[in-house]
């Protein structure tokens, strides 16, 4: 009876506002609780359809590798490298020619790394390459490879024939940007597929990608950075769990974030029941007419 008297003394509008604010409060409180649990357990108490920290990881990768451009292609290739678990490769650091190089003798770099280094070269404005030298080299307990020294060039000005032209014995139109070394398997086989002329300046997309695909050495420390980023414990964004709380209380259940522990499941049950109760109360008050 007392509750009814109190309700009758409160304006209907104020009561509805209070219930709505209480509903929002439940969303916020449970969202913060889920967020704290996720960070304390490194996300193990939840199942994510996609890595909700992927953007954070990619931005960290960009910062640590010094990548300036960050277009859609770059974002996609870094995302692919992480999803494919390329950071799990058995990396080995070996001193060659007074410089440390990163190797993977279990497998060649493949398409994804070739695409990554091609985009990285494009970012620097590199358009052509020239093979300076190529010779057999035994690394890692008689692992037979060919060490190839490559000079990378940038096209000066515009070329009416496009950047895909092969220059022979003429570097007037090209400016040298960098020189790199890579250890490649099956280099003679690659030479049969392309022009075997060391005086040629090849377009980057014509030869460079195939060399990277067959290489067992990386051109920089990108794989080491990728491994560090992938294994780092990043804090989850509160926004993700406010979203999860909202989806839970409204019983939508999209399934992109799922509870993966008894504790979280119990909290989800409590929040869902609370949400149904509050919505029911709100509906009752909305159509409730006080007796004078």
> How do 99-103 and 92-96 pair as beta strands?
antiparallel
Q: Virtual CA dihedral for 199, 205, 208, 213, nearest 10 degrees?
A: -150
What is the pLDDT, as a whole number, of residue 169? 66
The confidence band for 29, taking pLDDT boundaries of 50, 70 and 90, is: very high
% pLDDT > 70, the chain: 84
pLDDT of the residue at 87: 85
- What's the pTM? 0.71
Residues 6+ apart with CB under 8 A from 33: 267
- What pLDDT, in 10s, does the model give residues 191-231? 665 555 666 788 888 788 888 988 889 988 889 888 888 87
pLDDT class of 9 with cuts at 50, 70, 90:
low
Question: Looking at residue 18, what is its pLDDT?
Answer: 86
Residue 139 has pLDDT above 80, yes or no: no
**Cβ atoms 227, 85 nearer than 8 A:** no
- What's the pLDDT tens digit per position in 170-183? 667 788 888 988 88
User: What CATH number should be reported for the domain whose range is 2-45+238-286?
Assistant: 1.10.287.70
Phi, psi angles (nearest 5°) of residue 24: -65, -40
Structure confidence at residue 190 (pLDDT):
65
Residue 146 or 171, more confident: 146
Residues 95 and 216: their CA atoms lie apart, in Å, by 14
53 contacts 267 by C-beta, under 8 angstroms = no
Q: What is the C-alpha separation between 80 and 98, in angstroms, rounded?
A: 33
Please report the pLDDT score of residue 146 as a whole number. 83
Residue range 108-136, pLDDT digits in tens: 888 999 999 998 888 888 888 888 888 88
Q: Which residues of 156-190 are buried (b: 16+ CB within 10 A; e: fewer)?
A: eeeeeeeeebebeeeeebbeebeebbbbbbebeeb
In whole angstroms, what is the distance from residue 147 CA to residue 131 CA? 11
Q: What is the mean pLDDT of the chain?
A: 81
Which neighbouring-strand residues pair with 158? none
Report pLDDT digits (tens) over 60-111. 888 888 877 667 788 888 888 888 888 888 888 887 777 888 888 888 888 9
Parse the chain into domains and list their residue ranges: 2-45+238-286, 54-231
Choose among 142, 130, 223: nearest CA to 170.
Answer: 130
Instruction: Give the whole-angstrom CA distance, residue 235 versus residue 226.
Output: 18
């Amino acid at each position: 009876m007392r509750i009814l008297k109190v309700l009758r003394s409160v304006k209907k509008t104020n009561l509805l506002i209070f219930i709505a604010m209480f509903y929002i409060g439940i969303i916020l409180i449970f969202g913060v609780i889920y967020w704290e649990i996720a960070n304390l357990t490194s996300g193990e108490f939840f199942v994510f359809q996609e890595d909700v920290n992927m953007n954070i990881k990619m931005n960290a990768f960009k910062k640590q590798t010094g990548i300036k451009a960050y277009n859609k292609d770059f974002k996609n290739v870094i995302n692919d490298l992480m999803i494919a678990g390329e950071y799990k490769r058995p990396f080995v650091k070996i001193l060659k020619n007074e410089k440390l190089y990163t190797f993977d003798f279990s497998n060649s770099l493949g398409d994804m790394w070739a695409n990554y280094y091609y985009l990285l070269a494009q970012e620097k404005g590199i358009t052509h390459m020239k093979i300076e030298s190529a010779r057999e080299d035994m690394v890692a307990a008689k692992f037979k490879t060919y060490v190839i020294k490559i000079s990378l060039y940038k096209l000066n000005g515009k070329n009416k024939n496009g950047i895909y032209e092969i220059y022979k014995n003429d570097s007037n139109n090209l400016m040298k940007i960098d020189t790199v070394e890579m250890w490649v398997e099956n280099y003679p086989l690659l030479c049969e597929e392309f022009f075997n002329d060391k005086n040629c300046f090849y377009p980057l997309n014509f030869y460079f990608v195939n060399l990277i695909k067959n290489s067992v050495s990386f051109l920089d420390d990108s794989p080491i950075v990728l491994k560090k980023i992938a294994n780092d414990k990043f804090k989850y964004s509160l926004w993700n769990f406010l979203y999860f709380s909202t989806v839970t209380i409204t019983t939508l259940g999209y399934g992109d974030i799922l509870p993966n522990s008894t504790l979280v499941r119990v909290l989800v049950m409590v929040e869902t029941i609370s949400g149904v109760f509050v919505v029911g109360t709100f509906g009752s008050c909305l159509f409730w007419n006080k007796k004078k």
